[in-house]
Amino acid sequence: MSETFSSKVNIREKLALFDEPWNPKIVGELNGQHVKLVKLLGEFVWHHHGEEDELFLVVKGQLRIDFRDRSEWIEKGEFIVVPRGVEHRPVAEEEAHVMLFEPAGTLNTGNVTGGLTAAELDRI
């Protein structure tokens, strides 16, 4: 683990360091997992992760996760785990702030690459 992550993290302060939506930032690491913060606005791309589960924890606003057969609303203080292999699309009708827990190296767009793919993530 990097010395950068050896002290407490203030989520609000970290979120104040960036504005662009759909561009996750790494704020911590544990047991091969990255803890990321991201701001969401609008619709993301349909995708899945072949090998990784994802946990979305809403810290501000609300988030809808669309699945092919249903949609789930996740409110502030709630989280959802999207199992590996399950196609999904995050949607935020108004800006939402989300903490993600996922294995290090997980590509935000999973099996799809395009304009919203964030291959190299900043650590803040």
How many residues are recorded in the chain? 124
* Tokens 């899945």, residue located: 48
What whole-number distance in Å separates Cα of residue 115 and Cα of residue 93?
A: 20
On whether residue 20 sits in a domain, the answer given is yes
Q: Can you give the residue range of the structural domain that contains 46? A: 3-111
Angle at 123 between CA 19 and CA 97, to 5 degrees: 40
Give the closest residue to 97 by CA, choosing from 2, 22, 28: 22
Residue-wise pLDDT for 8-43, tens only, equals 999 999 999 999 999 999 999 999 999 999 999 999
**Domain annotation covers residue 123:** no
Is residue 75 domain-resident? yes
Query: Is 95 part of a structural domain of the chain?
Result: yes
- 27 within domain boundaries: yes
Tokens linked to 94: 């108004």
pLDDT digits (tens, 9 = 90+) for 73-95: 999 999 999 999 999 999 999 99
Q: What is the pTM of this model?
A: 0.89
The domain spanning residue 13 has which CATH number?
A: 2.60.120.10
93 falls within a domain: yes
pLDDT band, residue 4 (cuts 50/70/90): low
Number of structural domains, the chain? 1
